[in-house]
Amino acid sequence: MQEMILFRNPTNTRFQRLLAFLGVMGGIIWLGGSIVRAAIAFDMFIPGTLTFKPTMSAEAMLQTIRLFGMTAFYTMFSYGLFVVLGTAYWLSLRGLWRVRGGVFIAGMLFLLYVPVEAVQMYYDIHLVMMIQDGALALEAGKTLVLKRISVLNGALLLAMLGYISAVLVLCMQPLTRAPATQAFEEQPS
């Protein structure tokens, strides 16, 4: 049986390996940063709702919003790295799409949710600009955080499920087709 490893494939060029490495590193930093940012942001809300905690002081809430905004730069940069380099690597594997259908599906699942991330980045950029200018007011920060979290209603949950599905498809590779020479050898005469 043929080994189905994408990243240590002997036919990959050094350039493809570098694209894969940098793209995966960007993806790891982005995904980890997104989880950390979600934990920071949801600390301001009553669990299970998008209602701000009335018991949280204004100073604590402002500091939480500031921390949420300051971490946006790292996740935006790493997501951009992931999308650009990951897409370049994915396109360089076009010849494998028919043999390894999971590679195509995983790439499409990631690219499908780029617009959702772009809308979130729009609000992140505004929040970062407010923090850098020193013009971060509590109500304006709360409004931006709430808009960012509730943008496109259920699309964020669908995006996370899509990302998890893409990683599972890459790991399990369910749509891998055997080479034609093997299929002819296994048939009885």
pLDDT digits (tens, 9 = 90+) for 119-144: 999 999 999 999 999 888 999 999 99
* In the predicted structure, residue 152 carries a pLDDT above the cut 80: no
* In the predicted structure, residue 89 carries a pLDDT above the cut 50: yes
Q: Are 7 and 20 in contact (CB under 8 A)?
A: yes
DSSP 52: B
Placement of tokens 């749509």 in the chain: 175
Lowest mean pLDDT among 14-28, 74-88, 121-135, 169-183: 169-183
Placement of tokens 């982005």 in the chain: 30
Q: Are 106 and 169 in contact (CB under 8 A)?
A: yes
Give the per-residue pLDDT at 3: 47
Mean pLDDT of 7-30: 81
Query: Which pair of structure tokens corresponds to residue 154?
Result: 């259920």
* In the predicted structure, residue 113 carries a pLDDT above the cut 50: yes
Q: What is the dihedral of CA 137, 143, 144, 145, to 10 degrees?
A: 100
Distance CA 142, CA 136 (A): 10
Mean pLDDT of 45-67: 92
* In the predicted structure, residue 181 carries a pLDDT above the cut 70: no
Q: Are 95 and 167 in contact (CB under 8 A)?
A: no
Give the per-residue pLDDT at 58: 93
- Residue 64: pLDDT band with limits 50, 70, 90: very high
Give the per-residue pLDDT at 29: 93
Alpha-helical segments (H) within 4-137: 14-42, 58-70, 72-92, 101-112, 114-133
Threshold 0.85, pTM exceeds: no
Query: Which pair of structure tokens corresponds to residue 62?
Result: 């402002």
In sign, the C-alpha dihedral spanning 101, 104, 105, 106 is positive
Mean pLDDT of 48-71: 92
Give the per-residue pLDDT at 14: 85
User: Residue 22 class from Cβ within 10 Å (0-12 exposed, 13-18 middle, 19+ buried)?
Assistant: middle
Length of the chain, please? 189
Mean pLDDT of 2-12: 57
Report the SS3 class of residue 118.
Answer: helix
